[in-house]
Amino acid sequence: MHPFQTHYNKVVQQDFILSGNVSTVAMLPRPKKISLSLGGDRSTDSYVVSSLAALNILTGQKPCVTQQKFVQQRNNSPREAVGGKVTLRGSSMYSFLYKLLFNVLPRIRQFEGLRSPAHEKVYCFLLKDMFAFEELVPLFPYFEDLGSLQCQFYFTTKSKAEAVVLGHSLKLCFLPNEN
């Protein structure tokens, strides 16, 4: 079990139990999965291969190929690959979340924090600097043309406020609301 998963099980769950009316541990909010997408409008072979390789290096899992959206006028031609996608669950999710929070985000220049979640169950953001991941720095010539990494966190929360509390418990650095 990853130490960050242990932190959730021992500390975050206990905080939620003590702060609310929860009858079972299964009703507690928790992170469900993390979905990472890398790709763009270009469908050149080298771009697709480099995005798949970057996702493989970052997560340790084999990514699925994403294809361009279906266009009505070109219904006879095959859809072209434009990037890759990886879904992380369980221990690999906690491992990536730990790496993102404590190794990657501190390396980003002028990082002020993440915006508060707009939805109750999903939190999305773009990571524009792919070379904040130190695994990709030695391989710069292969990945210099990559676009932004789209990160989506899925929670089992029932409201935005619950998602913010869970995010703060997991050390996600949300910016305070400007309302």
Is it the case that residue 153 has pLDDT exceeding 80?
Answer: yes
Split at pLDDT 50, 70, 90, the class of 20 is: confident
pLDDT at 115: 84
Rounded mean pLDDT of the chain? 86
What CATH number should be reported for the domain holding residue 127?
3.30.1440.10
Chain-centroid distance, C-alpha 17 = 26
The answer to whether position 178 is within a domain reads no
The answer to whether position 18 is within a domain reads no
pLDDT above 90: percentage of residues in the chain: 36
The answer to whether position 12 is within a domain reads no
63-111 pLDDT, tens digit each: 999 887 766 555 566 677 888 999 999 999 999 999 999 999 888 887 7
One-letter amino acid for residue 97 of the chain: L
pLDDT at 99: 93
* DSSP 3-state of 93: helix
The answer to whether position 102 is within a domain reads yes
CA atoms of 115 and 138, how far apart (whole Å): 31
Which tops the pLDDT comparison, 150 or 26?
150
pLDDT at 73: 52
The answer to whether position 3 is within a domain reads no
One-letter amino acid for residue 19 of the chain: S
The answer to whether position 8 is within a domain reads no
Domain that holds residue 127: 31-69+78-169
pLDDT at 77: 63
Q: Kindly state the tokens that stand for 74.
A: 């070109």
The answer to whether position 145 is within a domain reads yes
Q: Where are the alpha helices (DSSP H) in 44-87?
A: 45-59
The answer to whether position 20 is within a domain reads no
Average pLDDT over every residue of 148-163: 90
Number of structural domains in the chain: 1
